[in-house]
Structure formats: structure tokens, C-alpha cells
């Protein structure tokens, strides 16, 4: 439920502030919110150092740090500029009323975060989530805030201890007059000796107490100095290790993106190969069908070769007048060829004139008869055709 509310606030803020790159900015904000539950989105007017004012969206709340094996929540606020993620975010430490800012190389006196990561900001290698991780690492080495109550209580306790010690010393040294007079009346010498012993004992106890306090302070200062020296020595190593790890993570992210792109290309190639295989299988089926047709045609041609028809069987003519018409036409053509052949024989001197005339006369009679038959057959077939046409019309 909270995530949906945060998404609505972010979408509304991105639209009202008119961010240039709303989608990567939205992803950056949602990633930070999913990793740090102490933050929540905020849309408000932001005043820059130049005095200009602009509506920005940011995250406000706390981030956890680990300092001396204890977890502390540091109040912070991160603002994203309108050209995010091209421009680096702006971060502030926002102390509560019982806290005070501790200025350092990472935080100035106004609470602004000034880590080198911001000056080296470069998209897409840099992100808001990585910036927060660096803040957690730096703040874990040197917290940016300290409690006002603890400092005031330490000062009050030290001053109270000093005043109590002074009061004890004054009470011991300045004895009440009545007590001194009564003791002096009975035995002045012994009373003075007892007083001196008591005073020396009290003074030695106070000296031991002061010496113990001095040793404890020296031990505390030594411990703090050692911790600071170790911190200063370990800080560059830890930062170097962090940057090395970050570079390795970025390299792994880049390799992962390349692998994902390669996987998409491989899937596309496999899909294309599958389509080609289906197309080849379809063509193969068509080819097999065509081969079957060619086989049938070849078998048919083989049968035609083995059962070749004669010249008279090529043309099928129905019986009756049509058959007689075809026969007379063929006879007429044959007689023409015979008369031509006899003429050539006469011209060449193979036949004499008498034989030529006799043969030509006989052939002419037959040809005349065939032509008469053809005319009658034509008339008959024309009559039957017209009769069938009129019957079809009727």
C-alpha cells in the first residue's frame, strides 16, 4: 500500500516538475525506496545557491549506518535535479533539534554532502542508490552529527564533580569552630595530631582520585587518538576497496547487459532459423508432390511409348456421314497426288501419252465420284447440324 502511494507521489512530482528524463528518474527513486525503508518521497520548492527556486522531487528520512558496532539512523534529504540522471543529486544532512552537525571532508557546516562521488558523477555508471551506499560508508567512518544532550551532560557532569570535590575539600579543611574549641579544651596536642592525620588522609584520597581521573582522561584521549589514526589509515584502503568492488560490479553489470543483448540476438536468430526450417519443409512437401506428378506423367509417357497408336488411330471420327466424308476427302487428296505423279512420269518420258491418258481418265472418274460423295455428306451433316440447333432452340 505504501509503495503504491509513493509511486503516485513520484509520478505526480515528475509531471509537475517537468523532468527531462522521467522514466530513469522514476526507476532511480523506486530502487532507493525499496532498499532504504526509512526514506519517503517529497516534492517541494528548492532554493539553489544562486537564489533561483525550482520545484524538485527528492527523498527525505533516515539512512542506517554502522558506527563502532552500533547502528544509527542519520537524518538526510536527497534532491534530484530536473535533468537527472545526467546531473548529480544534491544531498543534505538534516539534524533534529537535539542534534548538531559535525563538519568534515564529507559534510560542510550547512550539512551539504560533498563526497567526491558527486564530482565524478557519470550516467549510467552512477546512480542514486550507489550515492547512498557511499554516504553510509563515509558516515560509518565519521558520523556527520552528534547529540547535543550527550555533550551538555558530559560538561555538566565534569563541572558537578569538580564542585563536589571543592566542597568536600572546604568542609575538610575548614572545620566547624565549636568542634575545634571543644577538642582543644580537652587535649590540644592529640587533637591537632588527629586532625593532621585526618587531613593528610583526605588529601591523599583526593590526590588519588584526581590522579585516577587524569589517567582515565589520558586513556580516553589515547584511545580516541588511536581510533582516529586507525580510521585515517583504514579510510583510503576501505575507499579503494569499495571503488574496486564498485568497478567490478559495474563491469559485471555491463557484461550482464551484453549477455542479455546477445541472448536476445540468439533468440531472434533461432526464431528466424525456425521460420526458415518451416519454409524449407513446406517447399520440400511441394517438391515431393511435384515429383509424384512428374512420376505419374513419366509413367503415362512410358505407356504411350509402348502403346503408340497408328496414323489412322490418331484422329477418331464417328461413324456415318462424317466418317464417309473423311474417307472421301482422303481419297480425293490421294487421287490428286497420283495424277501429279503420272504427270511427272509423262514429263520425264517414263510413261507414254496413251497410258497417261488412260490412267488419268480412270482416276478423274473416281475423283469426281468422291467429290460427289463429299458434297452429299456435307449437305447431310449440315442438315443434321441445323436440325439439332433448331431442336435446341425449340
- DSSP line for 308-347: ---HHHHS---TTHHHHHHHHHHHHHHHHHHHHHHHHHHH
Domain residues of the chain, as ranges?
Answer: 2-147, 320-393
Lowest-confidence range among 100-104, 197-201, 360-364? 197-201
Average pLDDT of the chain, as a whole number: 80
Residue of 134, 149, 112 lying closest to 65 (CA atoms): 134
How many percent of the chain have pLDDT more than 90?
41
Q: Which residues of 161-184 are buried (b: 16+ CB within 10 A; e: fewer)?
A: eeeeeeeeeeebeeeeeeeeeebe
Radius of gyration of the chain (CA): 61
Q: Which of 226-230, 312-316, 326-330 has the largest mean confidence? A: 326-330
Stretch 255-263: mean pLDDT:
87
Q: Between these two residues, 74 and 307, which has the higher pLDDT value?
A: 74
Stretch 261-284: mean pLDDT:
90
- CATH says 2-147 is which class? alpha beta
**Quick check: 207 pLDDT over 80?**
no
Q: Give the pLDDT score at 310.
A: 64
Amino acid at each position: 500500500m505504501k509503495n503504491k502511494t509513493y509511486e503516485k507521489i513520484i509520478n505526480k512530482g515528475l509531471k509537475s516538475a517537468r523532468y527531462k528524463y522521467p522514466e530513469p528518474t522514476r526507476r532511480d527513486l523506486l530502487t532507493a525506496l525499496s532498499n532504504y525503508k526509512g526514506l519517503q518521497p517529497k516534492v517541494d520548492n528548492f532554493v539553489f545557491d544562486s537564489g533561483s527556486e525550482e520545484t524538485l522531487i527528492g527523498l527525505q528520512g533516515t539512512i542506517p549506518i554502522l558506527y563502532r558496532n552500533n547502528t544509527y539512523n542519520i537524518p538526510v534529504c536527497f534532491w534530484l535535479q530536473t535533468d537527472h540522471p545526467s546531473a548529480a543529486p544534491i544531498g543534505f544532512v538534516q539534524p533534529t533539534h537535539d542534534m548538531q552537525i559535525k563538519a568534515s571532508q564529507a559534510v560542510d557546516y550547512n550539512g551539504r554532502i560533498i563526497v567526491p562521488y558527486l564530482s565524478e558523477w557519470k550516467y549510467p555508471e552512477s546512480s542514486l542508490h550507489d550515492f547512498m551506499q557511499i554516504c553510509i560508508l563515509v558516515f560509518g567512518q565519521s558520523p556527520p552529527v552528534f547529540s547535543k544532550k550527550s555533550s551538555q551532560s558530559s560538561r555538566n557532569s565534569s563541572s558537578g564533580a569538580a564542585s563536589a570535590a571543592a566542597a568536600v575539600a572546604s568542609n575538610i579543611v575548614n572545620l566547624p569552630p565549636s568542634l575545634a574549641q571543644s577538642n582543644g579544651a580537652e587535649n590540644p596536642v592529640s587533637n591537632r595530631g588527629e586532625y593532621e592525620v585526618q587531613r593528610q588522609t583526605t588529601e591523599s584520597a583526593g590526590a588519588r582520585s584526581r590522579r585516577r581521573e587524569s589517567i582515565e582522561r589520558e586513556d580516553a584521549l589515547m584511545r580516541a587518538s588511536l581510533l582516529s589514526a586507525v580510521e585515517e589509515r583504514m579510510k583510503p584502503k576501505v575507499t579503494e576497496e569499495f571503488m574496486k568492488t564498485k568497478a567490478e560490479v559495474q563491469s559485471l553489470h555491463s557484461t550482464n547487459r551484453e549477455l542479455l543483448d546477445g541472448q536476445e540476438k540468439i533468440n531472434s536468430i533461432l526464431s528466424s532459423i525456425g521460420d526458415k526450417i518451416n519454409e524449407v519443409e513446406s517447399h520440400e512437401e511441394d517438391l515431393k508432390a511435384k515429383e509424384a506428378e512428374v512420376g505419374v506423367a513419366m509413367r503415362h509417357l512410358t505407356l504411350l511409348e509402348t502403346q503408340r497408336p497408328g496414323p489412322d488411330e490418331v484422329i477418331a471420327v464417328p461413324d456415318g456421314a462424317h466418317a464417309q466424308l473423311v474417307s472421301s476427302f482422303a481419297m480425293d487428296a490421294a487421287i490428286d497426288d497420283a495424277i501429279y505423279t503420272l504427270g511427272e512420269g509423262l514429263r520425264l518420258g517414263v510413261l507414254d501419252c496413251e497410258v497417261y491418258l488412260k490412267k488419268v481418265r480412270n482416276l478423274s472418274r473416281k475423283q469426281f465420284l468422291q467429290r460427289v460423295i463429299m458434297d452429299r455428306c456435307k449437305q447431310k451433316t449440315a442438315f443434321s447440324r441445323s436440325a439439332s440447333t433448331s431442336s435446341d432452340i425449340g
